[in-house]
Amino acid sequence: MSSLLVWKEKMQRLYANYSLYILKALQLLMGLLLFGMINYNIGFMKTASSVFCTIGLAVICMFLPMIVMTLAAAALVLVHFYALSMPIAVISVLIFLLMYIFYFRFTPGKSWLLLVAVLAFGLRIPFVVPVAFGLLGTPVWIVPAGCGAIAYYMIHFVKVSATALKSSGSDELAQGLISFTKQVLANREMWIMVMIVIIGILLVNALKNRAVDHAWKIASVTGAAVCIVAAAAGNLLLDEKISYVIIILSAVLGAVAGFVLEFLFFSVDYSRTENVQFEDDEYYYYVKAVPKVGVSVPEKKVKHITERQPESMEGVTEQEQNFSAGRMQQPGDAAGYTGTASERNTEEILLTRSLSRELGLDQTHQNDNNGQ
């Protein structure tokens, strides 16, 4: 566990230093997945569905706000719908316009939530959305999640019914508008998934805000279980054919995603929980304090060991040389030292110089010379 916490601290430091580049890389990846999914499923216009168009749109949107990527994705969908049928394009314009007017016009910074929801449904992991949105967001996030589900099912419906929806003439415009609108609004699987996503987000968000131990884990597991039960009930009651493999797999991935998000954004130590009570003139306060879990990243210290350079003989005074020469003539030195006379002379001079510095003899000698 401690190694994971150290890894988390390192990742936080890395993000703090290179947050701009990391966000732009994620934005580029999202653009490639989003535009690639649109062109793969409804690539009715060959020019717009090319690889160069996909990469070009992703690179351009990487340097622009997320609302621009949302608008570019909507425009790409409309271009493909127009290539297939005029009525489909008209109805889609109205649906996208309603989404923009009632939500994204007021919160352009949250437009990426719709794109995440569309990608989750496109990757067949829809129940990751209620768990992740419920843990990290607010109840208002049900709007972009629901809009993302509607946008995905609209694209999916056009993909599977492209041959039947293709217009045969301009005189069938009104009939095509009515037919496409009825078929989209009558898609029971779409409304089941929208309701499951909304209920899941509200439930997970309510549970994770409770003052109980391991609230995030409880919210993640409960949200995933409720999604499974609701989807199975929809299959049985409305005679739908939502794949149980997708239901179970996406719910399990949703719970795992919840655990990962808890580790990244809400890592606390419940064993050291403290309950505090205090009061003022008007209120009594009951506070539950849960400390965060954090470790310090060990710093690597490199110690450089270099060879000591011998001191130069320059600047050695005559007094030091005479003093060292006198010490060389002592009988104890001659018996205990086997070096040459020049080596002993050098060492004695350096020793004398060091002692003079410590005792302040250099400064006294210099003052005497200045006085003379």
Low-confidence ranges of the chain (pLDDT < 70): 1, 165, 167-174, 176, 294-347, 355-372
pLDDT tens track for 210-258: 888 888 999 999 999 999 999 999 888 888 888 889 999 999 999 999 9
C-alpha distances in angstroms, 299 versus 6, 10, 296, 302? 11, 11, 9, 10
Predicted pLDDT at 344:
59
- pLDDT of 56 reads 93
pLDDT value at residue 242? 84
Cβ atoms of 202 and 150 within 8 Å: the answer is no
b/e per residue 316-352 (b: at least 16 CB within 10 A):
bbeebeebbeebeeeeeeeeeeeeeeeebbbbbbbeb
pLDDT, residue 332, reads 46
pLDDT computed for residue 336 by the predictor: 46
pLDDT digits (tens, 9 = 90+) for 110-158: 888 999 999 999 999 999 999 999 999 899 999 999 999 999 998 988 8
